[in-house]
Structure 1
């Protein structure tokens, strides 16, 4: 069984405009100083409360900020996003080739479902793995654990490959013995991608890498 776990923000969907706007709205509402654009460019991917804590917020402040951010996103911020060119066609082809496709995203579950449905991905996804908007399932590792527990997929008997753009994708997958292919059209850096099994610079290159990985087999087991 060949299973693809797909990150959403920065891999399937360019959600940076909405995430950026929600982040800045959160900081302005809290009266917190805005960081440099270099910092803002890296906010998509990790849970928002992790990003807020990295600015020096206390746990209480970060949780208050998360609530503000989620309210903004629910109010329409989720829609300020578009599919990366070529990725919908690639997901369709993967399904046609017999691969099982799931998401493993730190994006809130309802927001992920809405944007993936609007952009045409949802009908090609076998399991929607996402973070809880109000619950403990927030990290990438926790989301992957949820996917595996919910589906019964076993890394000891199935070939599983993660596709993502940030270090937390790679590290979260590695906690479960799963390799990652990093994509460069998202929000990561060369230093982050260097820790992945392979790096793809286009959907076409990603398709070839995934084909080769599954052709070799035993991804999650060796």
Structure 2
């Protein structure tokens, strides 16, 4: 049985859901609207994880252009992209198992909070998460260390009482910034090398391993 104070912060994209189709199509839509070349699928997948402004920033010389690109992305995401995802196999059962074991569960994602909440509300296990912490629409809160800090603030928690679980280096680096225990998952978009280089304490090859890794 998990201690009552143990909280698990889950990343969303690449950890709970495979959102590659929705994200890459929305990026392609934004680039097309901004009259920018659309890179191949393999390169578009690198956009999954960082904040939108971080990814769009190097492509444009003016902040106003970055904001327009973000708006174009959101335009398609709100109409189509939010639903273009699949839940990873084993995730629902794992979430239910962790909840039954007494863990508090929450989402910490660089996706903007309204979009993240919409997705979580439509997942069959979404009600198991006590809160969704995401980026602000204006980008003032978007980096993982800041998002984790906001999650700790909302729950009035110490970092030592929590775990961060995610598929990208940003999840691991954000956790390490706060001295938080962390698990890198290998079914997402980062991969083992990226997670190890980021300093992941533990790695999970499949969702079913998470209860054992958090209890050990």
CA distance in 2, matches of 1:58, 1:35: 21
Q: What aligned pairs does 1:86-165 form with structure 2 within 5 A after superposition?
A: 86-155=90-159, 158-165=160-167
Structure whose residues are more often helix by fraction: 2
CA–CA distance in structure 1, aligned partners of residues 186 and 62 of structure 2: 32
Match of 1:33 among 37, 40, 49: 37
Change (3 A) 1:40 1:152: same
Q: For residues 70 and 139 of structure 1, what CA distance do their matches in structure 2 show?
A: 18
Q: CA deviation at 1:81?
A: 1.1
Distance in 2 between the 1:173 and 1:201 partners?
A: 19
* Counterpart residue number, 2:206: 202
TM-score (norm 1): 0.89
Which residue does the alignment assign to 2:11?
7
Deviation at 1:209, TM superposition (A): 1.3
TM-score, reference length from structure 2: 0.91
Structure 2: gaps spanning 5 or more residues = none
Aligned pairs, how many?
Answer: 210
Cα offset for 1:18? 0.5
Aligned-residue offset at 1:31: 0.6
- The root-mean-square deviation of aligned C-alpha atoms, in Å, is 1.5
1-side partners of 2:128 and 2:95: how far apart? Answer: 7
Quote the Cα distance in structure 1 between the aligned partners of 2:167 and 2:60: 25
Deviation at 1:60, TM superposition (A): 2.9
Residue 167 of structure 1 corresponds to: 169
Mapping 1:40-51, distance limit 5 Å = 40-51=44-55
Other-structure match for 1:185: 187
CA apart distance, 1:176: 1.4
> Residues 124-178 of structure 1, C-alpha deviation per residue, up to 9 Å, x if partnerless?
01121111223411111221111111111122xx521100000111111221111
User: Distance between the aligned counterparts of 1:45 and 1:34, measured in 2?
Assistant: 18
